[in-house]
Structure 1
Amino acid sequence: MGVDDAEALWRWNHDADVMRWMDEGYAETVAQVAKWLEERPPNAYGDVLFGVEAEKTLIGLVRLHGAEPEVGLADMDIYLGEKDFWGRGFGTDTVRAVCLYGFRKMRLRKITLTVAAENVSAQRVYRKVGFVEEGRLRGTFRDAEGRWADKLTMGLFESELTPTS
């Protein structure tokens, strides 16, 4: 991920379809996104960010963060911004690959995430990889219309990771 990717990230962050299930911050300019990419520290154990590429195109981001070696736990975030690549298995492949990276390279014990309770397509991907629903956070997700909804917490141990299908 580099400053050259700022325009794509900015475009995704201003697309209502892409951001539908995301916790949005304040709108940023392309220059602000470029500055964030430029100033972001290099990947380290506690926080790794990877670009997701397909067909020589940046199509999304995936991140493991909040990791501490003493606990062996990290949170995962993912989004695919290029809609032409949706529904083609790239999300599932990316989730599986970053989980393998977390378990094998970072020596994590568990990976967790949160997902909007109404985002059934993302939940399907997570379950396909082996994630298990662990709880419900009531009224913690605000949708684009300003309504509050629930999020689900999901977790995955290495022994639950499903092989590629």
Structure 2
Amino acid sequence: MLKGEKVMLRAIRPEDLERLWEFNNDLEVELFGGGGPPYPQSLARLKADFEREWAKGGRDGTNFGIEVDGKFIGHCALFEFDPVSRTCKLGISIGDKGYWDKGYGRDAVRVLVDYAFRLLNQRKVWLSVNGNNERAIRAYRGCGFQEEGRLRRQVWTNGQYVDLVQMGILREEWDRLKTG
């Protein structure tokens, strides 16, 4: 549906679920993804959740599978939309570690940010990232995100407390990046 230089963002399909289940149960992927502590997930539960949402019909919203050359490598989404301030939060996970550090995540973020500003009329896109995830922070900065705040030792991950970094990009900053 949405094409970047390296990736395509599209709806998550039933045939993606087994790989998504593998990603969701990979400790290294989960720890770098941030958020709460990693918990196991059964394939049956993932399929049941997917089928329940699918049965409602309608559109899939702003949750996308990330595809490279026909291969599902991760997922990304926009969520926590604020209709008054016109902001939303971005989340991404490249679950296939063979695609780490090759620019696929950056390309997916750029496509998703452009979608938020150009097609959804958002004013700002923001995200949270664990302060020890230097690779992700570099990638977000490379896409124009700026650090807006830091909650010190906020997140318990892998046996230690780490900072939670808040980052954001405004529409006018994105427009300057695209034209500059």
TM-score, structure 2 as length reference: 0.82
Which residue does the alignment assign to 1:74?
Answer: 88
1:2-151 → structure 2 map (5 Å cutoff): 2-21=13-32, 22-23=34-35, 24-40=37-53, 42-44=59-61, 48-145=62-159, 147-151=160-164
Residues 31 and 38 of structure 2 are in contact (CA less than 8 Å); yes or no, is this contact kept in structure 1?
Answer: no
- CA RMSD across the alignment: 1.9
Distance 2:139 2:52 in 1: 32
Residues 2 and 37 of structure 1 are in contact (CA less than 8 Å); yes or no, is this contact kept in structure 2?
Answer: no
- Identity percentage of aligned residues: 32
Distance 1:119 1:131 in 2: 15
Aligned to 2:149, the other structure's residue is in SS state strand
Q: Aligned residues, how many?
A: 161
Change over 3 Å in CA distance of 1:58–1:152 after alignment to 2: same
- Say whether 1:158 aligns with 2:171: yes
Distance 2:145 2:78 in 1: 15
Distance 1:15 1:73 in 2: 31
Give the gaps of 5 or more residues in structure 2: 1-11
Distance 1:15 1:164 in 2: 39
Which structure's relative contact order is higher, taking Cα pairs within 8 Å and 6+ residues apart?
A: 2
TM-score, structure 1 as length reference: 0.89
